[in-house]
Structure 1
């Protein structure tokens, strides 16, 4: 067909080989015809030749000796997982693997979806007793460290989380001036290894945020917090956060004597949801939790003191509880066991629950990932089934974040971990994660972390597309 198109201008020249062709008008016409011919050839090439040039697909077959079905709380033996271009394309006893597919043997391992922490702070590390001592206070840490140092800390903490098996995290603020957004972009662009991130940017709060301010220095809480005390200020705070790269909005509801009302919360939620952005609410009191739930937030963070009536409201509305239960060694026995009792009540009532740690402190001898796994045991102490705890840290957290992860099924991102022992029998098996795959790329195998300096990089945009904040494929 391209040959026919190329002969058209020649035919036209032969037909018009008269003195007329020497005129300027004829020459212009001839140039246009040749131009049209070139375009036609290009179109013909795309139509007829391009289908024969197909980008090579990447195929990996994982032999999963013991596949952990977290949804149904059971082990499926002798399974295979076919991964194609970063996604799971088939799961079953025998998948249709193309010739030349890479093979990964996990026949002696327990294979499950990658872990998700729905409440963390990768750009915050309290360093009690260090050379520059913040006395274990995130307020002092925010005054001592600039955003660049906190991003540097987050670079190491992000790797530690990925190495421990966390493939997604939701970073919930306390990161300086959009340090979490910088981390997210660096990970997305391939500059550093780490879990995929959902980022809150600056926390939106009534004046003072979570701090007690000095009247001579009232601005010390910024930029950690975005003070918003009117509906106009709340709308502006939501928009500015999203503009600078937040993919989830965080409201501080009740850390001051004056708290956000139902209407205040609703203004933020309506503005954020209109852009496809979810909203989380830091709330501890029953009144604050209830205001946030009635205002339409997607999750309650901490939620230490809800009444049964408020938990029932959360269950009715599908509002997630992200409990962030520090261990007793850090929190004290009384508060710890109060949280355990709250977890029992929430589970019995049917509140949706997603795992979130809120780890912010340094603990010598442990990585951030190991610390985070330790926060699961408040649910063990609450006598929740191990299968439910695993669901909280995989599929439930994925649903809350809006991440295409958390399940080993066709169409999901290939976010897969493995370990020698069965986590359905004992959650502490998660300490032994020996294999990590995120988005189809292997980051840990045989217990060894691996990350080569990439030769293909990107510089991702800060603000995300309307309605698709996580840019899910």
Structure 2
């Protein structure tokens, strides 16, 4: 049985951009870890068995939802263009051993807890090794430790030589092989299917390879049909316009990363009869490409191929984001945490990037990273907004994020499903923070609004 809490003297940001800030409120949280009541402080009678926490005018908002993460790494810069021989040795003789898997699981758990302590109460993990993400999700559900809500995809589905193959992906080169790989993931207990329709930046060998088509529309259609018949959503890694088109025609539910659109693509996003819900949503990851594209190689530790591919992907992705906003395409927020310079505690940087580069304001951004993300992931009945009956997934802030989105970096308390973390602790990575903070300060001093 969980403790009962009364959070008093708080200013409530519901998460839904259509609802106003509510001042001087009390939130009651019951023993099931659900929100029981949200009322004006003077109108609330607090039962005797509730622990009262006077928050002295602090701001309470829904827990953040990161719709695109990987838990296997923490965001430290690394050299991503390793030879096949080195990768093969590292995978078979280091990672894929009893000790290697134990270390991997420990790291993934640490990264999930880092995210939670930064205010991310829900994470969608879109590609991990050995179904370790499934294990962690199940341990959290069994209350073996207090962790974030996890939605997990297990292995990528890719093609021979495709993004993530062969170490991070099940490989298939026909519609029936693709169906078999969906079934393997389903049998292992995943919540969604993640596919790689195009190449990616991290394992591209040539400039332009990151967005190169790898899956066919028939393969994508087979995957979506197999997943949709049991109600699972399909997320598609895509980094080119033609890749987006193929993924949409195949019926995917979310486009991860994205690219510049044309009229056909815009129409398919808004009305996609082959998707689970009849439309497809966009989950960009701007911060994943931005640092590698703009930083000097001495800081980013990437080669010319990665740098140029990052710039190509970022430019096209940002154009796609602006088109999505202009044409009212359903959109959420993800960071691609684990990539170089994308830690599990700096979701606020992704939000800040949108404010700098698009027409969205703080209220729009908070809506995207809470309510909109919950709807895209199909979990809006239980989380995403502060409403009676939903999970008590929330964070407490010293400052108002509606005034400045950077306020989200100053989390005072975090609650997930009614479990309260009174003193969040984040193991910062100074080598990443120092570089990104210098870029952020330079942007502030020049009022940068474009790449």
Pairwise TM-score range, normalised by the shorter structure: 0.7 to 0.9
Match of 2:142 among 177, 185, 189: 189
Partner residue of 2:294?
332
CA distance in 1, matches of 2:247, 2:191: 19
RMSD (Å), alpha carbons: 2.7
Match of 1:401 among 364, 368, 377: 377
Check conservation: 2:139, 2:145, Cα contact below 8 A: yes
Question: Which one has more relative contact order, counting CA pairs under 8 Å at least 6 apart?
Answer: 2
Matches within 5 A, 1:49-198: 58-71=3-16, 72=18, 74-84=20-30, 85-93=32-40, 94-95=43-44, 97-125=46-74, 128=77, 140=87, 143=91, 145-146=95-96, 147-173=101-127, 175-198=128-151
Partner residue of 1:290?
245
Check conservation: 1:162, 1:195, Cα contact below 8 A: yes
For residues 239 and 63 of structure 1, do their structure 2 counterparts lie closer, same or farther at Cα, with a shift above 3 Å needed?
same
Partner residue of 1:434?
412
Pair 1:379-2:354 in alignment: yes
Check conservation: 1:126, 1:136, Cα contact below 8 A: no
For residues 384 and 126 of structure 1, do their structure 2 counterparts lie closer, same or farther at Cα, with a shift above 3 Å needed?
closer
Q: Which has the larger radius of gyration?
A: 1
Pair 1:368-2:340 in alignment: no
3-state SS of the aligned residue for 1:74? coil
Match of 1:420 among 398, 401, 408: 398
Partner residue of 1:322?
283
For residues 361 and 290 of structure 1, do their structure 2 counterparts lie closer, same or farther at Cα, with a shift above 3 Å needed?
closer
Partner residue of 2:224?
269
3-state SS of the aligned residue for 1:370? coil
CA distance in 1, matches of 2:284, 2:375: 16
CA distance in 2, matches of 1:158, 1:407: 21
- The structural deviation recorded for 1:273 is 1.8
CA distance in 2, matches of 1:57, 1:380: 38
3-state SS of the aligned residue for 1:151? helix
For residues 95 and 313 of structure 1, do their structure 2 counterparts lie closer, same or farther at Cα, with a shift above 3 Å needed?
farther
3-state SS of the aligned residue for 1:376? helix
CA distance in 2, matches of 1:341, 1:83: 42
Partner residue of 2:175?
231
3-state SS of the aligned residue for 1:169? strand
CA distance in 2, matches of 1:59, 1:137: 54
For residues 170 and 350 of structure 1, do their structure 2 counterparts lie closer, same or farther at Cα, with a shift above 3 Å needed?
same
TM-score, normalised on structure 2? 0.76
- The structural deviation recorded for 1:107 is 3.3
- The structural deviation recorded for 1:185 is 2.2
CA distance in 2, matches of 1:436, 1:341: 34
Unaligned runs of 5+ in 2: 200-208, 273-278, 296-310, 427-451
- The structural deviation recorded for 1:337 is 5.0
Match of 1:252 among 191, 196, 216: 196
For residues 308 and 373 of structure 1, do their structure 2 counterparts lie closer, same or farther at Cα, with a shift above 3 Å needed?
farther
For residues 186 and 134 of structure 1, do their structure 2 counterparts lie closer, same or farther at Cα, with a shift above 3 Å needed?
farther
- The structural deviation recorded for 1:127 is 5.3
CA distance in 1, matches of 2:10, 2:401: 14
Unaligned runs of 5+ in 1: 1-55, 212-220, 450-473
3-state SS of the aligned residue for 1:246? coil
TM-score, normalised on structure 1? 0.73
CA distance in 2, matches of 1:375, 1:346: 17
CA distance in 2, matches of 1:290, 1:354: 19
CA distance in 2, matches of 1:185, 1:368: 24
Check conservation: 1:78, 1:107, Cα contact below 8 A: no
CA distances 1:85-110 after superposition (whole Å, capped 9, x unpaired): 11112222134543322212223211
- The structural deviation recorded for 1:180 is 1.5
- The structural deviation recorded for 1:79 is 1.4
Check conservation: 2:266, 2:327, Cα contact below 8 A: yes
Check conservation: 1:354, 1:400, Cα contact below 8 A: yes
For residues 96 and 261 of structure 1, do their structure 2 counterparts lie closer, same or farther at Cα, with a shift above 3 Å needed?
farther
CA distance in 1, matches of 2:267, 2:361: 21
Partner residue of 2:436?
none
3-state SS of the aligned residue for 2:395? strand
CA distance in 1, matches of 2:70, 2:178: 23
Check conservation: 1:163, 1:369, Cα contact below 8 A: no
Q: How many residues align?
A: 377
